[in-house]
């Protein structure tokens, strides 16, 4: 009997994991990032109504007979738009011939029966990089794709309702974050999160170390969150805000809405070998969008 590996019965990496791959890309790859923690609106094809309920019961004096209905149950709605996005890429395995990995290239009629060289490593890296790009879009938007992020919404369409705070470039990052803490509406204090760029987060943590506020301990950092001293408000290192060092954003994860489909098999993560041109081709297609339930529960600070 011939020795060696028999792999003809194995399905390639993408075919086995395509559902997990597309889910991780669309819904957030890294648990510490913000998409995975936001409210999800599934089944969105493009622009749809985001419905929410506001109930306000009224307490009345109860002594005596009679029935006096009072209270309000209000249905409201906002539009949420999920942009259709895609990735198309291709690889020529023959490009590896003459390089150290040429042993992975299969020549002849059956070469499409094997996995693409370095398939798992390439797909894993694409998955991570796409998740990072999507996190950035959720916060900063993308003008080329007409995608408005959370910061753009707070500065634009929702600016009339958003609480705007002017912060000082002469102040420390601790002082500016404290100003944000004091501006957060009382209704969301128990669940509020302050979102800052990685650079601002690093400066904040170093300032906490230097000042030794409340006997700072590294163990208080979990999932890139640090509880601001004297509160239960988390300061979150937000990868999607990388490079945006003049903005500080505050709200709750429940108030941040991430919209996509994920219900009707509209998402696609497919890798195949094309006999027409001897290329491995990748197609990823999905939709995504972001909004907030209550713009008046958002605080946007600008360091001027």
Q: Which residues of 203-212 are buried (b: 16+ CB within 10 A; e: fewer)?
A: bbbebbeeee
pLDDT at 117 over 80: no
The span from the CA of 115 to the CA of 11, in Å, is 8
The span from the CA of 137 to the CA of 135, in Å, is 5
| Average pLDDT, rounded, for the chain | 84
Q: What is the mean pLDDT of residues 208-214?
A: 73
Fold classification of 13-54+72-147+260-292 is: Major capsid protein gp5 fold (3.30.2400)
* Domain spans in the chain, listed from the N-terminal domain onward: 13-54+72-147+260-292, 154-256+294-303
CB within 8 A of 218, min separation 6: which ones?
A: none
If one looks up domain 154-256+294-303 in CATH, what number appears?
Answer: 3.30.2320
Confidence band for 224, pLDDT divided at 50, 70 and 90? confident
Query: What's the pTM value of the predicted model, to 2 decimals?
Result: 0.83
* Model pLDDT, residue 160: 96
* 191 or 48, higher pLDDT: 191
pLDDT tens figures, 249-294: 999 999 999 999 987 766 889 888 888 888 889 999 999 999 999 9
Structure tokens at 32: 């510490």
């Amino acid at each position: 009997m011939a020795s060696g590996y028999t792999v003809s019965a194995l399905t390639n990496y993408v075919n086995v994991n395509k559902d997990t791959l597309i889910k991780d890309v669309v819904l957030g790859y890294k648990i510490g990032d913000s998409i995975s923690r936001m409210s999800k609106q599934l089944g969105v094809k493009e622009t749809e109504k985001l419905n929410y309920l506001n109930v306000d019961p009224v307490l009345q004096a109860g002594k005596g007979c009679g029935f006096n209905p009072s209270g309000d149950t209000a249905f409201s709605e906002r539009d949420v738009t999920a942009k259709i996005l895609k990735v198309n890429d291709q690889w020529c395995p023959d490009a590896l011939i003459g390089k150290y990995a040429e042993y992975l290239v299969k020549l002849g009629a059956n070469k499409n029966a094997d996995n693409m060289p370095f398939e798992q490593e390439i797909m894993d890296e694409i998955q991570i990089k796409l998740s990072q790009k999507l996190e950035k879009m959720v916060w900063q938007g993308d003008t080329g794709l007409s995608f408005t992020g959370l910061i753009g919404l707070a500065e634009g369409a929702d600016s009339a309702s958003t609480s705007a705070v002017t912060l000082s470039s002469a102040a420390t990052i601790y002082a500016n974050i404290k100003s944000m803490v004091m501006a957060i509406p009382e209704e969301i204090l128990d669940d509020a999160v302050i979102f800052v760029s990685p650079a601002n987060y690093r400066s904040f943590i170093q300032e906490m170390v230097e000042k030794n506020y409340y006997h700072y301990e590294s163990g208080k950092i979990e999932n890139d969150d640090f509880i601001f001293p004297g509160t239960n408000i988390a300061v979150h290192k937000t990868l999607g805000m990388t490079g945006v060092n003049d903005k500080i954003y505050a709200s709750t994860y429940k108030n941040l809405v991430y919209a996509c489909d994920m219900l009707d098999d509209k998402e696609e993560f497919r890798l195949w070998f094309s006999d027409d041109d001897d290329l491995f081709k990748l197609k990823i297609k999905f939709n995504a969008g972001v909004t907030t339930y209550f713009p008046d529960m958002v605080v946007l600070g600008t360091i001027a």
